[in-house]
Amino acid sequence: MNKLVMAALLTVQMLASPLSMADDAQTMPLLPDAPMTKEIPTTEKEFANAINSFTKEEIIAQLGEPAKAEDVKLKNSGKVVASIWYYHNINTAPDGSYYQTTELDFIEGKVVQVVYMNNDGSEPLETNKTYDLPSAEPDL
């Protein structure tokens, strides 16, 4: 019978130990959450899929200041409603080559569009902005 009582006590003690350890862990002070550092990918598709989850501050922290930035403002109030940032040689195409320029379009502080360009972004590709109107009558 002593062996039976001893086995029962050991079983109760073993079952109680994990619970008391769990209780102790709950009363220990928790460390503050460390900021998660997520890295901005550089490959074309991964970059486009991930960049809208980063704030402007996080983008600047990882990529630096943009080479060029433009704000889009409302004419009557001057309120900034969008921003356009240009970076050079930060993203790779599927063949591993770098796009010369990456354009990030922001609305309300979040990236809403990514444009990859094989030019430096300083000059519009088309300089002649005049167009002929279509004729009202079809050519026969």
The answer to whether the pTM exceeds 0.75 is no
**Using one digit for the tens of pLDDT, what is the confidence trace for 74-132?**
888 888 999 999 999 999 999 999 999 999 999 999 999 999 999 887 765 444 434 45
d(CA 113, CA 64): 19
d(CA 51, CA 86): 14
- Cα-based torsion angle of the residue sequence 92, 97, 99, 104 in order, rounded to the nearest 10 degrees: 0
Domains of the chain, by residue range, sit at 44-117
Give the angle subtended at the CA of 51 by the CAs of 113 and 81, to the nearest 5°: 45
* pLDDT of res. 71: 93
137 CB neighbour count, 10 Å cutoff:
6
CATH number belonging to domain 44-117: 3.30.1450
Model confidence band, residue 9 (pLDDT cutoffs 50, 70, 90): very low
**Using one digit for the tens of pLDDT, what is the confidence trace for 48-70?**
999 999 999 999 999 999 999 99
CB 101 within 8 A of CB 122: no
